[in-house]
Amino acid sequence: MKPDLMPKNNTMTKNPIGVMDSGVGGISVLKHIHALLPHEHLIYVADSAHAPYGNKSQDEIKKRCFAVADFLIAQEIKALVVACNTATAAAINDLRAKYALPIIGMEPAVKPAAAASKNGIIGVLATVGTLKSAQFAALLESYGRNVEVVTQGCIGLVECIERGELDTEHTQHLLQQYCAPLLAEGADTIVLGCTHYPFVRHLIEKIVGESVSIIDTGAAVANHVNTIMQTQSLSTPLKALPTITFWTNSKAIDSAAVIRQLWANDNADIRYMS
């Protein structure tokens, strides 16, 4: 039976929202959530010791998602945001089946891209895991029928961003390689189908030029979180500055530095979990 995690009284409204990703990429979503809901306490988990999820089996990803969700639920979160396209595709149904709290996932923005494209050719940059998933196939079936969709798995890119390499030659070279097929097919709209990629958006913009639109899902996810808070009466009544805590299990020496770099705050509260 599911644990009853729904609020029984309004004390739960003061609890934090949990946000998880395979690593530091979901910080791009966390920024949108914090901007829209500036009084909500937030707990972020970077499962960086197990990143990338993109080349793991669905079962392995599910196992990691359960471990991280258990960790966050033990800290009495009132909602869980899976700020990872790959984890959403692999595990969102199982997470929702196991836990009773609101769980918000995300998927590559094929629908808005198809609506925005002028020439009907859209590109999707994502992990191999997302592109191979049944959820992505269903997304294309629903929203990709009237457009040409060019997909590109970006092997190795998540690892660059995990190391904080947002401007190195290697990262630029990978992006050139991955954007080239989309440009060759004439895509006028490119979807960032992985939450790590907004951190290298500046490089992608340079490669694809101004005539190509880039779509990131972070703001839409934050809007959805806001809607859930309101419709389920979970919005915080607090008006003070919230606590924002980062947890990472990465053993890399500079993992805290990368979180500080991406969150753009030298005083970020970063803790280690096993």
Which residue number has the CB closest to ligand DGL? 54
154 is known as an active-site residue: no
Q: Pick the piece of the chain touching ligand DGL (CB under 6 A) from 15-23, 31-39, 70-78, 97-105.
A: 15-23
Residue 52 or 102 with smaller CB distance to ligand DGL: 52
Interaction of residue 153 with ligand DGL, rule CB under 6 A: no
- The answer to whether 84 is a known catalytic residue is yes
Per rule CB under 6 A, is residue 151 in the interface with ligand DGL? no
Compute the least distance from the CB of residue 52 to ligand DGL, in Å: 3
Q: Is 94 helix (H, G, I), strand (E, B) or coil?
A: helix
The catalytically annotated residue of 65, 84, 154, 179 is: 84
Encoded one letter per residue, x for contact with ligand DGL by CB under 6 A and - for no contact, window 40-69 reads -----------xxxx---------------
Chain Cα centroid distance, residue 266: 22
Collect all residues with Cβ–Cβ distance below 8 Å to 199 and sequence separation of at least 6. 25, 27, 28, 161, 166, 262
Which letter, b or e, does each residue of 104-134 get, where b requires 16 or more Cβ atoms within 10 Å of its Cβ? bbbbbbbbbbbeebeeebbbbbbbbbbbbbe
Instruction: Give least dist CB 141 to ligand DGL, A.
Output: 20
Catalytic residue among 65, 154, 179, 194: 194
Binder among 117, 133, 152, 195 for ligand DGL (CB under 6 A): 195
Pick 12 or 158: Cβ nearer ligand DGL: 158
Tokens 């890399």 belong to residue:
252
Contact indicator for 144, 114 with CB cutoff of 8 Å: yes
Of residues 201-260, those binding ligand DGL (CB under 6 A): none
Helix (H) or strand (E) holding 72: helix 58-73
Look at residues 227, 214, 19 and name the one whose alpha carbon lies nearest to residue 109: 214
Beta bridge partners of 103: 80
12 vs 20, beta carbon nearer ligand DGL: 20
**Reading across the β-sheet that carries 121-126, which strands appear in turn?**
148-153, 121-126, 189-192, 213-215
Q: Provide the minimum distance between the beta carbon of 231 and ligand DGL in the complex, in angstroms, as a whole number.
A: 25
Q: By the criterion CB under 6 A, which residues form the site for ligand DGL?
A: 21-23, 25, 51-54, 84-86, 127, 130, 158, 194-196
Catalytic residues: 84, 194
